[in-house]
Amino acid sequence: MSILSGKNVLLGVTAGIAAYKAAFLVRLFVKKGAQVKVVMTPSAKEFVTPLTLSTLSKNEVFSSFTNEEDDNAQWNNHVELGLWADLFVIAPATANTLSKMAHGTSDNLLLATYLSAKCPVYYAPAMDLDMYKHPSTTATFEKLDSFRNIQIPAEEGELASGLSGKGRMAEPEHIISFIENHLLQQMPLQGKKMLVTAGPTYEAIDPVRFIGNHSSGKMGYAVAEAAAKLGSEVFLVSGPVNISLENSRVKIIPVTSAKDMYEAAHTYFPTCDIAVLSAAVADYRPKQVASEKIKKNDSSLTLELEKTQDILKSLGEIKKHQFLVGFALETQNELENAKSKLKKKNLDLIVLNSLKDKGAGFKADTNKVTLINKDNKVQRFAVKPKTEVANDILQYIIENIDA
């Protein structure tokens, strides 16, 4: 999943020959999972039709403040458009429009929207060679950059005049890549690697039966997805769950037993900066696993169990630079038990929840947690969706990982 997924992208199209590439750009944004709206300068419609862009974006295209064909239509509110956008991308950006942006000229809907936008503004220059090199264009770039607009550099190639040189608008694929990389560089977990464990483990009794628990994996998957959105590369070691997660920054390592999870966690932990172990790992497993299905012949069945390896404790014993987070699901003496676990397993943070709390625990889409750090500082949160709980946990990590 791209970092652009779920973003509201406002695409500004100005009157240059490169405007035909706006159709490809809209399509790429949509493929990345973004919601796209298009605002055009009136003259841009001579190069690419609003119908094409509205069909590809599945949204109305805006080019004027009012609908001249409908006297009763509402005006197109440039302030609302600017506030709707998470990103404003002006491509192609002609010398004329760029100059107006630099000097605050507002003589069309696109420019009025630009002046109202609160989001990051990217612009992809498109003009002929001599125009691109002109001192006034250089001054325009400098002024726009001083406004914290982000320039997507023009490329070299054949131009509309027949000349060849710099001034050609970056190709749509390059624009998308530039924006994705730029956004990732702003992310607080960019460059960090994270290990997350999630879900239950199944400990075999025979080829058919197992010992397991009710963990759905929702909390761990929420942490993994939120971490990826914040720029981290995530290794998600997952027990058997019914959750799908498609994100190019999350590598899912499926496992079944506690032994499998132990081995996978120890494989990825040494190269990670952060580890969040939210899986509900079985504490015991059958000492002997039957090779054939156990028949229902007797009125009772006795199983001898043995302890599984303690994954969290073992990682706490070998951690060096890693920020290690564990989970504690308790039913009594919650704070005391969690603090004891925090110390015994050499954790930096423990996330406590109780089965007594309504809205917390297995299978639910919500959770109620208490964060306890290694100084025994306690921070309590209300019941929230697990996606928000994940963000609370990660925010704490971000604020304390380099402390």
pLDDT digits (tens, 9 = 90+) for 302-349: 899 999 999 999 999 999 999 999 999 877 888 899 999 999 999 999
d(CA 162, CA 389): 57
Residues lower than pLDDT 50 in the chain: none
Gyration radius of the chain's alpha carbons:
28
Domains of the chain: 8-185 (3.40.50.1950), 193-283+305-400 (3.40.50.10300)
> 8, 59, 67, 213: which one is catalytic?
213
d(CA 13, CA 25): 11
Structure tokens at 60: 């109305």
Q: Over the range 229-244, which residues count as b (16 or more CB within 10 Å of their CB) and which as e?
A: bbbbbbbbbbbbbebe
Instruction: Supply the DSSP string of 19-40, one letter for each residue.
Output: GGGHHHHHHHHHHTT-EEEEEE
* Contact in structure between 240 and 256 (CB atoms under 8 Å): yes
> Quick one: DSSP state of residue 58?
T
Q: Among this protein's residues, is 67 annotated catalytic?
A: no
Comparing CA positions, the residue from 92, 90, 140 lying closest to residue 111 is 90
Contacts of 118 (CB under 8 A, 6+ apart): 82, 83
Phi, psi for 266 (deg, rounded to 5):
-75, -25
Q: Give residue-wise pLDDT tens across range 64-91.
A: 876 655 555 555 678 889 899 999 999 9
What is the structure's pLDDT at 360?
Answer: 67
What is the structure's pLDDT at 329?
Answer: 84
Structure tokens at 314: 């073992």
In the block, which residue shows the tokens 């399509």?
27
What is the structure's pLDDT at 76?
Answer: 66
Contacts of 243 (CB under 8 A, 6+ apart): 216, 217, 218, 221
